[in-house]
Amino acid sequence: MIEWKPDQWEKQIKDASTAFFYLYTPLCGTCMVASKMLTVLHTMKPDLNLGKMDLNYAPDLATKFEVESVPCLVILENGKLKEKVYRFESVPHLLEVINKYTR
């Protein structure tokens, strides 16, 4: 999973039909577990347009997408917010969520 900078984030929003953005903070223990789950998921689906960003460096994104807590997986289709996932229950659960938006 690639760490995206704000300019890369904006490019993905404009260019990708479907994008998955993982927002976290480095001192969040739950974020560490969620990050490992998403790494496993990305290994299973290497073509997935999935990036991550430390929310401490992008507070404007938290405002733009009304992020209520971390970890948060923001799902966009054609630049529009489709879903925010806060519950990182398991890899199979995340795969089920992601499969709703991938073909």
Rama region for 31: left / alpha / beta (φ>0; ψ in -120 to 50; rest): alpha
Burial of 72 (0-12, 13-18, 19+ CB in 10 A): buried
Domains of the chain: 2-99 (3.40.30.10)
Q: Quick check: helix, strand or coil at residue 15?
A: helix
Which is nearest to 57 in space by CA: 10, 8, 5, 14? 5
> pLDDT tens across 7-32, in order?
888 887 777 789 999 999 999 999 99
pLDDT given for residue 7 in this prediction: 80
Which is nearest to 103 in space by CA: 68, 77, 70? 77
> pLDDT tens across 27-73, in order?
999 999 999 999 999 999 999 999 999 999 988 889 989 999 999 99
Instruction: Check if the beta carbon of residue 8 is closer than 8 Å to that of residue 59.
Output: no
